[in-house]
Amino acid sequence: MSLPAKYVADLIGKPFVDGARGPEAYDCWGLLQCVLRRMGHEPTDYPSNPALLRFALHDEWQPLDPQEVKPGDGILLRSTDSRWEWHVGLILDSCRMLHARESVGVCVERFDSPAYRRRIVGFYRYRGRPD
């Protein structure tokens, strides 16, 4: 099973710009929000700030066991860039994620590759804003 292409196909190749929320460029959090909105959700827009990202994950996202992950869920990774503590992506299928990388832009990569597997912090499912 994979996330329908209608949610992501036109995003691939868009440039990465820190703090960008589209439609011409995205950062990783902006990309995740864009796809969630296309899926019918209304996530809160938090600035690209590690403390606020942790709040957003606690507030609107449910942690998942890796065996529960399905297309449309989020993945949280440790960043390799000293300017950012975290990096997020969107699960497309059993081994691929959509994410926005500074030097590449919006792309699809395997999260089970050696480059990403060791950086995974957790998987999350959007549950919406609390009442």
Q: Is residue 28 part of a domain?
A: yes
Largest Cα span, the chain: 40
Start-to-end CA span in the chain (Å): 31
pTM for the complete prediction? 0.91
* pLDDT at 21 (0 to 100): 94
CA angle 27, 34, 89 (to 5 degrees): 55
Q: How does pLDDT run along the chain (131 residues), one tens digit per residue?
A: 789 999 999 999 999 999 899 999 999 999 999 999 999 998 888 766 666 666 677 788 899 999 999 999 999 999 887 777 789 999 999 999 999 999 999 999 999 999 999 999 999 999 986 55
Q: Is residue 97 part of a domain?
A: yes
Q: Is residue 120 part of a domain?
A: yes
Residue 56 DSSP label: H
Neighbours of 36 (CB within 10 A): 19
* pLDDT at 50 (0 to 100): 60
Tally of domains in the chain: 1
Q: Is residue 131 part of a domain?
A: no
* pLDDT at 129 (0 to 100): 66
Q: Is residue 105 part of a domain?
A: yes
Tokens linked to 93:
């299928």
* pLDDT at 26 (0 to 100): 97
Domain extent for 40: 5-126
Q: Is residue 15 part of a domain?
A: yes
Residue given tokens 């860039």 in the structure block: 81
For residue 108, give the CATH number of its domain: 3.90.1720.10
At residue 62, what are phi and psi to the nearest 5 degrees? -105, 125
